[in-house]
C-alpha cells in the first residue's frame, strides 16, 4: 500500500475565461503542504479569450510543477481526459478553477484514499457568493440548503465521513480510469456519469466533511437561471446516451413542474383540476416562504427574505423546466444540446 507522502499526485484543472479566479485557485494549490516534487498541476484551458492564459503562463514560468495544456474542444470532460492522458501521478485530482483549497487539501484527500481503501475521495463545498451583493449571497445560501439541493451532501454537509454517490470534484486512484474508462464527453454531468460507472464496477466513493472547498456560486439571477436550466436538461438528456448520470433527487423538480403544468392544462377541461393546481401552487409558496423566513432569521437579515424566495423559485422551476426540455430533445435525432458540457460563461 502507498503512503500519501510518497505518492505522485496529478492535479487537473479544467478552465476557460477564469481571469477572476484562476490566480486564487493556483495560489491555494501552491500553498498546500504536499511535497512539490511529488506534485504536478495541469491547467487544461479551453482556449480562453480573456487574461486567463497569460495569468497561467506567469505561474508556469515561476513554478515548474504547473503546466498549461490546450483544450480546443472547450468541453470540461475533454479537459479532464487530456489531463489524465498527460498525468504522471498515481493519484488524479480534479480541481475546479472557480474554487480555492485549504493547505492540507491534497494530503488529506490522499490520506483518506489510502486509509478507507476508497476509489474516489472528496469533500464538501463551502458555497461562497460570487460577488458581494445581496443576490449573490442569497444564491449561495439557497445552494447550501436542503430545500435547494436535497440530500446532496457535498452542498449541505455531513457530520461524519460517509459513503456516497458524489463528492466535490474528486480524488481518484489512476487505476480507476484504466478499469472503467475516461470521462464521458457526450454528457454534461461528466462527474456523476463517472461515479455511476465507478459504483457499478464495485468502486466506493467517500465524502469527508473535514475536507472543505470554497466554491464561488453564480453571482446573479441570469447566470443562476442558465446554470440550473442546463443542469436540468442533462438530468434527462443523458438517457439519450444510455447514461445514468443522475440521482433521484434530480428528478424532483421535474415531477413538481409536471404536476404544476399538468394540473394547469387539465383545469381548462375539468374545473375541479383548478383546485389541484391552486393547491400545488399554494403548498409550494408556503414551503418556499417558510424556508426563506427561517434562513432570513438565522442570518439576521430580513431584507433577504424576498430574494431568497425568488432564488429558490428560480432553482426549482428552471431545473424542472430544463429536465422536461431534455425529454423533448431526446425525440430529436442526433446530438443537439451542448449546454454545460462546456464551461460557464
241 Cβ partners below 8 Å, 6+ apart?
A: 184, 186, 187
13 Cβ partners below 8 Å, 6+ apart?
A: 25, 26, 41, 42, 43, 44, 83, 95, 96, 97
Which burial class, exposed, middle or buried, applies to 331 when counting CB atoms under 10 A from its CB (0-12, 13-18, 19+)? Answer: exposed
Which burial class, exposed, middle or buried, applies to 79 when counting CB atoms under 10 A from its CB (0-12, 13-18, 19+)? Answer: buried
Q: Please give the pLDDT value at position 338.
A: 67
Q: In 3-state terms, what secondary structure has residue 41?
A: strand
For the full predicted model, state whether its pTM sits above 0.85: no
The distance of Cα 320 from the centroid of its chain, to the nearest Å, equals 17
Where do the domains of the chain lie?
237-329
pLDDT in tens, the chain (345 residues): 344 456 899 999 999 999 999 999 999 999 999 999 999 999 999 999 999 999 999 999 999 999 999 999 999 999 999 999 999 999 999 999 988 999 999 999 999 999 999 999 998 888 989 888 999 999 999 999 999 988 778 888 788 899 988 888 889 999 999 999 999 988 777 888 899 899 999 999 999 999 988 888 888 999 999 999 988 888 888 787 777 666 777 789 999 999 999 999 999 988 889 999 999 999 999 999 999 999 999 999 988 999 999 999 999 999 999 999 998 988 887 766 766 544 443
Q: Please give the pLDDT value at position 276.
A: 94
Crossing angle of helices 76-86 and 190-200, rounded to 10°: 60
C-alpha cell at 320: 424542472
Q: Are 271 and 172 contacting, i.e. CB atoms less than 8 angstroms apart?
A: no
H-type alpha helices, 201-304: 221-237, 252-266, 272-298
The per-residue DSSP string of 73-92 comes to T-BHHHHHHHHHHH---SEE
The distance of Cα 132 from the centroid of its chain, to the nearest Å, equals 21
Angle at 18 between CA 15 and CA 20, to 5 degrees: 155
341 Cβ partners below 8 Å, 6+ apart?
A: 75, 76, 77, 185, 186, 187, 188, 190
Q: Please give the pLDDT value at position 345.
A: 34
179 Cβ partners below 8 Å, 6+ apart?
A: 201, 203
How far, in Å, CA of 56 to CA of 43, rounded?
A: 8
The distance of Cα 194 from the centroid of its chain, to the nearest Å, equals 13
Q: Please give the pLDDT value at position 53.
A: 96
Angle at 26 between CA 21 and CA 27, to 5 degrees: 100
Amino acid at each position: 500500500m502507498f503512503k500519501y507522502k510518497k505518492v505522485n499526485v496529478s492535479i487537473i484543472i479544467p478552465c476557460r475565461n477564469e481571469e477572476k479566479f484562476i490566480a486564487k485557485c493556483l495560489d491555494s494549490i501552491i500553498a498546500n503542504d504536499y511535497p512539490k516534487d511529488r506534485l504536478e498541476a495541469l491547467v487544461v484551458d479551453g482556449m480562453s479569450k480573456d487574461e486567463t492564459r497569460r495569468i497561467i503562463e506567469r505561474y508556469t514560468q515561476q513554478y515548474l510543477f504547473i503546466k498549461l495544456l490546450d483544450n480546443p474542444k472547450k468541453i470540461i470532460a475533454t479537459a479532464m481526459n487530456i489531463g489524465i492522458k498527460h498525468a504522471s501521478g498515481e493519484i488524479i485530482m480534479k480541481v475546479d478553477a472557480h474554487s480555492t483549497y485549504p493547505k492540507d487539501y491534497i494530503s488529506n484527500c490522499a490520506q483518506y484514499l489510502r486509509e478507507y481503501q476508497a476509489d474516489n475521495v472528496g469533500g464538501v463545498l463551502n458555497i461562497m457568493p460570487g460577488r458581494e451583493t445581496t443576490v449573490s449571497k442569497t444564491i449561495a445560501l439557497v445552494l447550501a440548503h436542503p430545500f435547494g439541493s436535497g440530500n446532496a451532501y457535498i452542498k449541505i454537509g455531513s457530520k461524519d465521513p460517509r459513503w456516497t454517490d458524489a463528492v466535490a470534484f474528486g480524488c481518484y486512484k489512476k487505476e480507476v480510469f484504466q478499469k472503467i474508462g475516461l470521462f464521458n464527453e457526450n454528457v454534461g454531468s461528466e462527474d456523476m456519469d463517472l461515479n455511476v460507472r465507478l459504483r457499478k464496477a464495485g468502486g466506493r466513493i467517500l465524502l469527508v466533511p473535514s475536507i472543505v472547498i470554497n466554491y464561488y456560486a453564480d453571482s446573479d439571477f441570469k447566470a443562476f437561471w442558465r446554470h440550473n436550466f442546463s443542469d436540468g436538461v442533462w438530468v434527462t438528456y443523458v438517457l439519450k446516451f444510455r447514461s445514468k448520470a443522475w440521482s433521484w433527487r434530480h428528478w424532483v423538480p421535474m415531477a413538481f413542474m409536471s404536476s404544476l403544468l399538468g394540473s394547469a392544462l387539465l383545469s381548462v377541461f375539468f374545473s375541479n383540476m383548478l383546485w389541484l393546481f391552486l393547491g400545488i401552487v399554494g403548498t409550494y409558496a408556503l414551503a418556499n416562504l417558510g424556508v426563506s423566513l427561517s434562513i432570513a432569521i438565522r442570518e439576521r437579515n430580513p431584507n433577504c427574505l424576498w430574494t431568497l424566495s425568488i432564488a429558490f423559485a428560480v432553482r426549482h422551476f428552471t431545473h424542472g423546466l430544463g429536465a422536461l426540455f431534455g425529454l423533448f430533445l431526446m425525440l430529436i435525432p442526433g446530438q443537439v444540446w451542448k449546454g454545460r458540457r462546456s464551461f460557464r460563461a
